[in-house]
Amino acid sequence: MVNLVDTFSEFKAGKNIDRPTMVRVLEDVFRTLIRKKFGSDENFDVIVNTTKGDLELWRVREIVPDGEVTDDRSQISISEAVAIDEDYEIGEECYEQLHLEDFGRRAIMAARQTLISRIMELEKDEIYRRYNERVGDLIVGEVHQILKRELLILDDATGNELVLPRSEMIKGDFFRKGDMVRGVIKKVEMRNNNPVVIMSRTDSLFLEKLMEQEVPEIEDGLITVRKIVRIPGDRAKVAVESYDDRIDPVGACVGMKGSRIHGIVRELHNENIDIVNYTNNTSLFIQRALTPAKVSSIELLMDDAEHPRANVYLEPDQVSLAIGKGGTNIKLASKLTGFEIDVYRNTPDEIEIDDVDLDEFKDEIDEWVIDQLKAIGCDTARSVLNLSKPELLRRTDLEEETVDELLSILAAEFED
């Protein structure tokens, strides 16, 4: 029996297969071997000794007088039984030990292959189960291989291979073979019947886990991270809440002179992280979400419960801060609060007589173009004309031809 048991021990090493599973697999393999040779395994005992690492097979049959055997699977004649052990008597059960050699070389080789296959399946199931339970956990690994679309990472704790797709890497990430990489387990998928563990550095959970590691109050449950939104490598906004009035959640997350947040920012390649106090006061939360801009007033539009909107009014010098480079600030604030935010410049009650609201041009300018302009804080003709053509192209998604036509229409309004 040694060959098959050794085979199991060899494959079991380091695979975390528990003892009951080991016994069940070995028993199944040997019962299959018995059924192929004898047609049934009903009168056989398979005894696995996990302590010694060996296994015994016994055939059990009732002893009957010579010439009265009606079923040789369950009965044995007294003369055959005595040949096994001379103390046997009629009516007793005869235990006959089987040896591996009795099954033949081909059967043994087939059983070995079955055993190897079963163990590999168990290993795959175990990897899938173990990592599926750890989705969202922070993980550290070594870059093992660099491929065109992904990096293969060796889990520092288990030695298993993980996959870090380039789509899950932060802009600016550059790793060499042997470098240590941190990320979170995003998901586990089956590819060609093999479990593939996907790592991520762009997922919001990665930032949350880094904060948990750096801020003891989060790990202790005194501060809760309510929501994180990110443009990986560029900007992130984090809403935090404290369950202890004595703890300032924003201050605790930033640390003395930024000591806690600096390490996280470095890990994320200088990603700009805004941490704000969460509140149930919607207007106040939107105001905080638009940090660093200072909001003058907010008008909430709740006509569509699924897509609530907020009109935010700011002083002219605060508009560009609210929108942010490439619109990142307003985009993240919208995601954080769940409101679609429109930014407007504060204008005096007595609007200049020679200025015209953009909505007045709906017959000549498409509504989506007007919406684009309002999104960058321009709601009058003069506010658009005050911006240069290159600035309009940079801050909106408009084509050059559209901008030229737009400026021409608006300028014509003020010609004598």
Which pLDDT tens digit goes with each residue over 398-414? 888 989 998 998 888 87
Same domain? 50 vs 157: no
Q: What span, in angstroms and rounded, lies between the C-alpha atoms of 170 and 164?
A: 11
pLDDT for position 327:
85
Contacts of 398 (CB under 8 A, 6+ apart): 369, 372, 392, 406
Q: What span, in angstroms and rounded, lies between the C-alpha atoms of 174 and 275?
A: 27
Give the angle 307-311-314 at the CA atoms, nearest 5°: 150
Residue stretches of the chain with pLDDT short of 70: 1-19, 50-54, 347-354, 416
Q: Which of 130, 153, 177 is the last residue of a domain?
A: 130
**Which pair of structure tokens corresponds to residue 277?**
């106090």
pLDDT for position 18:
65
Same domain? 12 vs 73: yes
pLDDT for position 350:
42
pLDDT for position 51:
61
What is the enclosing helix (H) or strand (E) of 404? Answer: helix 400-413
| Among 106, 68, 61, residue whose Cα is nearest residue 85 | 61
Burial classification of residue 134, based on how many CB atoms lie within 10 Å of its CB (0-12 exposed, 13-18 middle, 19 or more buried): middle
Same domain? 148 vs 183: yes
Domain count within the chain: 4
Contact status, residue 134 vs residue 155, Cβ threshold 8 Å: no
Number of CB atoms found within 10 A of residue 192's CB: 5
pLDDT for position 277:
94
**Which pair of structure tokens corresponds to residue 258?**
């930024």
pLDDT for position 2:
44
Give the angle 49-52-58 at the CA atoms, nearest 5°: 40
Domain around 229: 209-278
Same domain? 27 vs 107: yes
pLDDT tens per residue, range 90-137: 989 899 888 877 777 887 788 778 777 877 888 888 889 889 999 999
pLDDT for position 375:
80
